[in-house]
Amino acid sequence: MHRLRVVSGHLSPQNRLGPYSHAQIARSECSASLPVAADDIVVVHGLRTAIGKAKRGSFKDTTPDELLSAVMSAVLRDVGLSPDKLGDVCVGNVLQPGAGALMVRVAQFLSGFPDSVPIYTVNRMCSSGLQALFNVAGGIRNGSYDLGLACGVESMSLRSVGNPGDVSSRLMDNAKARDCLIPMGITSENVAERFGISREKQDAFALSSQQKASKAQERGVFQQEITPLTTRFVDEDGKERTIVVSKDDGIRPGTTVEGLAKLKPAFKPDGSTTAGNSSQVSDGAAAVLLGRRSMVEALNLPVMGVLRACAVVGVPPDLMGIGPAYAIPAALRKSGLSVADVDVFEINEAFASQAAYCVEKLGIPMEKVNPNGGAIALGHPLGCTGARQVVTLLNELKRRGKSRGRYCPFAAWKTSGLIMIDANLLTWHHPPVYFHCCTPLAGSDGTGGCAPLSRCLSAVEWAGFLLRVNPEWPAGTTNSERPL
């Protein structure tokens, strides 16, 4: 009934559609092609912390349980959901000892979650945050529970990559197994050499990431997705201060092609991968609340998107960065869409070499790729990034009033994760006061409200999962102002 009311509200002459006629609405792809089902897996809400520069940035003295707790509690607080309603919490993490099991359980209690709520970690390297989403979605799909929280967290300040753990000495006799020891920076060099991604091309990609992120930061775009975190910070004189962190550290608005060209190769003397065209080593966390549509509707929670398809593909470990070039087509096949149908792609920028290769190989127009910059500018807290990209993409699609997005981060070693998300106006849940926000035209600077209804209904896609975006929240709405 609620959906019918929502739809008829849009179609009624009293609504504020301005020049958009009913005929235009009826022609929309979204309403025609996207079925709505009670057991859809929907995204309710997502937030992230700011991303700190590891070892010297805002979160250099912040433990990962604190980062995680900040996003876990903020997401539930924003939508007014009691934690005891959660059936499971899955947290992507790469570097914490003991698979991060202690860290996440501590975060759970720091967040005020009862001990009856289960929590666990997952490690699919740089896709861990995304894998957490897959896992929670899987739990909902298989009927284990109706609501779950998918998170990602990493403190690269307090833990470093490097210890390979206990592996058999026989790995030296097996070329593929041996390749698993190749440092990530060298895999970037391999991709650049093998596929002819020149230094100039890499630097151009890096410049574009920095420029897009600078512009987004300047416009306040990230304020919608960042929950501020009050934390301790020890300054150069050893004095401890309390700071509030709400802004990403890594973005360099002054980046130029000349400045990038001057940087020395970081991983091998005659290489092309530098500090400027690599992702930054960072600290951060993100959380995304997922639920079965029937339960989400029963609790009158908002719906940001619907999970439509997931794909995970393995690639050779010495070329790990090419993952999106394989995972994106796999998810496209599952969804019956093509690259041309997609409006926004979020592709992880572990290195400009691999990201540029994937974009080229798939023939994606650059303006559709990471419109607010990626890990080169923002930073790449390993276990967090997949969840962070989902949060960033959903907010971008919401700003644009787009109904479908597609997203693809990728994992190190041999796998690539892909999820697809679509938006369908027919499934929106929000109070009428916000409902009208989809009628004014969005300003190109993201400040002018949501897109017209005809655009809200159009199809967009994304590499990864198809998520429905709810553009009823005006651009610039802060977390605390969002409707509950």
Ligand X SMILES: CC(=O)SCCNC(=O)CCNC(=O)[C@H](O)C(C)(C)COP(=O)(O)OP(=O)(O)OC[C@H]1O[C@@H](n2cnc3c(N)ncnc32)[C@H](O)[C@@H]1OP(=O)(O)O
| The one-letter amino acid at 283 | D
**Residues 60, 163, 410, 43: is their CA dihedral positive or negative?**
negative
Which residue's CB is nearer to ligand X, number 265 or number 440?
265
List the end-to-end C-alpha distance of the chain, in Å, as a whole number: 20
175 binds ligand X (CB under 6 A): no
263 binds ligand X (CB under 6 A): yes
CB of 113 to ligand X, least distance (A): 29
Report the alpha-carbon distance of residue 103 to residue 97 in Å, rounded.
9
Which residue's CB is nearer to ligand X, number 402 or number 414?
414
Which residue's CB is nearer to ligand X, number 271 or number 371?
271
Which residue's CB is nearer to ligand X, number 111 or number 214?
214
Report the alpha-carbon distance of residue 371 to residue 467 in Å, rounded.
17
Segment contacting ligand X (CB under 6 A): 83-91, 114-122, 273-281, 449-457? 273-281
Q: Which of 77, 380, 388, 429 binds ligand X (CB under 6 A)?
A: 380
Q: Which of 123, 214, 278, 335 binds ligand X (CB under 6 A)?
A: 278
Q: Which of 47, 75, 95, 125 binds ligand X (CB under 6 A)?
A: 125
259 binds ligand X (CB under 6 A): yes
Question: Using CB under 6 A as the criterion, what x/- string covers residues 406-425 for binding ligand X?
Answer: -----xx-------------
Report the alpha-carbon distance of residue 460 to residue 404 in Å, rounded.
4
Report the alpha-carbon distance of residue 393 to residue 408 in Å, rounded.
10
157 binds ligand X (CB under 6 A): no
280 binds ligand X (CB under 6 A): yes
290 binds ligand X (CB under 6 A): no
355 binds ligand X (CB under 6 A): no
135 binds ligand X (CB under 6 A): no
CB of 478 to ligand X, least distance (A): 29
CB of 250 to ligand X, least distance (A): 7
Q: Which two tokens stand for residue 74?
A: 């903020």
Segment contacting ligand X (CB under 6 A): 4-12, 33-41, 272-280, 453-461? 272-280
Q: Which of 281, 290, 319, 408 binds ligand X (CB under 6 A)?
A: 281
Segment contacting ligand X (CB under 6 A): 70-78, 251-259, 290-298, 299-307? 251-259
CB of 387 to ligand X, least distance (A): 14
Q: Which two tokens stand for residue 266?
A: 């970081």
Which residue's CB is nearer to ligand X, number 117 or number 266?
266
CB of 284 to ligand X, least distance (A): 13
316 binds ligand X (CB under 6 A): no
286 binds ligand X (CB under 6 A): no
Phi, psi of 300 (to 5 degrees): 55, 40
CB of 465 to ligand X, least distance (A): 19
Report the alpha-carbon distance of residue 251 to residue 53 in Å, rounded.
10
# residues contacting ligand X (CB under 6 A): 23
266 binds ligand X (CB under 6 A): yes
Report the alpha-carbon distance of residue 404 to residue 269 in Å, rounded.
43
Report the alpha-carbon distance of residue 159 to residue 145 in Å, rounded.
33
Q: Which residues bind ligand X (CB under 6 A)?
A: 125-126, 184-185, 210, 252, 255, 259-260, 263, 266, 275-276, 278-281, 320, 348, 350, 380, 411-412
